[in-house]
Chains A and B, each alone.
Chain A
Amino acid sequence: MKILVAVKRVIDYNVQIRVKEDGTGVVTDNVKMSTNPPDDNAIEEAVKIKEAGKATEIVAVTVGEEKAQETVRKALAVGADRGIHVKVDGTLEPLAVSKILQKIVDKEKPDLVFMGKQAIDDDCNQTGQMLSALLNWPQATFASKIDVKDNKLEVTREIDEGLETIEINVPAIVTCDLRLNEPRYASLPNIMKAKKKPIEEIAASDLGVDVSPRLEQLKVEEPPKRKAGIKVANVAELVQKLKNEAKVI
């Protein structure tokens, strides 16, 4: 089985986001960037499946600017075999990314495509589902457990009501939840080895895909701030405030 894993470079999850004063976006200059956290889970799962002898090759792909290649390099350091960097300028909408990934799937013919369930920058939660629509493949979203069984996967999905288990036939798309596994850290020797693994660079414009934006971001602003609260001295004061001041209990 061959697994394609899509990774995205985003502002690190620990960074306090600042909105640009001109309202055109958020500050990204001199801000720590990392792999989108659930994409790390997607890579980890692929590596575990390969270690269990159920996958033969893992290809990591990213769609992004020059520096997005760092995320592919990191995937190679934790166990992906080779990488693909589809180069684009600026940011693309999930629809455009899924069209690009469709072309990569056509070329690579993987049995499985893994990615995070959601990117923590735009919080869209669309790309995996869109890709499976374009390919007419089954989709297992929000996966917290994956069992590989020959040409099928049994996937446990986290849904609002609890858990759901589905069985999907390969080829298929899985979008990964943070609870799927514990991503490993790359060891120094593996980071060194990863530098020798190949990354194919492809210009998005060579894929013949319409990636023109359909959405206009008119403005980005700070959310309304909560007004500062108070510290109470003890439980009696807290309950009194909730009862008589906030009137919520």
Chain B
Amino acid sequence: MSVLLIAEHNNKELRPFTLNAATAASQIDSDVHAVIIGQNSADAAKQLSELPVVKKVLSVEGAHYENFTAENFAPVIVKLADNYSHIVCSANTFGKNLMPRIAAHLDTSQVSDIIKVISADTFLRPIYAGNAFATIKSNDTKKCVTIRPTSFDPCESAGGSAPIEKVDASEEFSNTKFIKREEIKSDRPELGTARIVVSGGRGMQSGDNFKLITEIADKLGAAIGASRAAVDAGYISNDHQVGQTGKVVVPDLYIAVGISGAIQHLAGMKESKVIVAINKDGEAPIFSVADYGLEGDLFEVLPQFMEELNKLNTIQK
């Protein structure tokens, strides 16, 4: 049977991790259908139809889908589920919120946050903040799987021409009302997909001091991350948090500044290709995962770092 991919989008365009989830879906079965639920989401639906791995797009439109409420989305997917062996979605806050609601309705044990498709019923997933990997076989006839987007490459985004089929909307769930969304807009690359991430921790001592990080991030074309301690202290907003309960990032270069390296933070960044740690405590656990460690006071190191970057003739973007 086919795989049903749930597209994540903002009604105008697909959100980038939909492409990573599509790759994972296509590794489970080559017959991937994708459902897009939203309001005035025709452009995003068209984008979805152009993914070569997607064989059919199901489009569901309704005013009550505008804000992606799980209580409204779940019944639509449950109705469609009859035709599919697997339902797949990204394990970001969208998928984490939605998929268990679907799985429970289908009486299926969900497999969360997989990092590898071993076969159509067996998956690899991290447990204990990534300190162990579990190989899980699902014996449910219908499988609900969320995928860790950074563990799968994005699929090709052009060249496909899947048919788009309209599907009827389900009733509105009246006990949940969307009020508002506060998105922090930035010209920087998205944290989840950036090639370079510069992160600050408690050692930054204030939100104001994050400008030292911002400067370097701008120079490198990097996204800005943070440890939970820095977010808790109010230095920076929650969408920057990297770690077990924040975002998982796998950039080419991760620069951890003033971050001690609690296992919960390492869970979100230790798969990065190259890790740099800047910390005045030479015994900080962050050094155990760093390729390059620099022991020193960040308030001296960061300005010097900026100076050295300014000396370079070229910087890769």
Residues of chain A at the chain B interface (Cβ within 8 Å): 11, 13, 16-17, 19, 26, 38, 93-95, 98, 117-118, 120-134, 137-142, 144, 154, 157-169, 172, 177-179, 213-223, 226, 229-232, 234-236, 238-239, 241-243, 246, 248-249
Contacts and interface: CB of A to CB of B under 8 A. Distances in A.
A231 B293 contact: yes
Contacts of A140: 176
B308 A239 contact: yes
Contacts of B182: 162-165
B100 interface: yes
Given A130-B103, A168-B177, A246-B253, A230 B244 contact: no
B175 A246 contact: no
A149 B71 CA distance: 21
Query: Which are the 8 A-B pairs with shortest beta-carbon distances?
Result: A129-B100, A214-B109, A133-B104, A130-B104, A17-B131, A126-B100, A229-B291, A239-B308
Interface stretch (B39-47, B49-57, B89-97, B206-214): B89-97
A117 B176 contact: no
Interface string B178-216: 111111100000001000100000000000000000000
B113 A123 contact: yes
Nearest to A236: B308
B296 to A, nearest CB: 8
A220 B276 contact: no
Contacts of A126: 99-100, 103, 110, 112
Interface residues of B, number: 93
Contact of B132 (A17, A120, A127, A163): A17
Contact of B264 (A13, A129, A221): A13
B176 A168 contact: yes
Nearest to A241: B292
Contacts of B97: 129, 139, 141-142
A247 to B, nearest CB: 8
Contact of A130 (B101, B113, B282, B301): B101
B74 interface: yes
B107 interface: yes
A94 B296 CA distance: 45
A166 B98 CA distance: 15
Contacts of B183: 161-162
A194 to B, nearest CB: 28
Contacts of B289: 226, 229
Given A217-B136, A229-B275, A94 B110 contact: yes
Interface in B247-295: 247, 252-253, 263-264, 270, 273-276, 282, 287, 289-295
Scoring B92, B130, B131, B287 by chain A CB atoms within 10 A of each residue's CB, the highest score goes to B131
B104 A235 contact: no
Contacts of B109: 93-95, 213-215
A125 B100 contact: yes
Contacts of A142: 93, 96-97
Given A215-B137, A229-B292, A11 B128 contact: yes
6 contacts: A139-B97, A215-B109, A220-B133, A231-B293, A239-B312, A246-B291
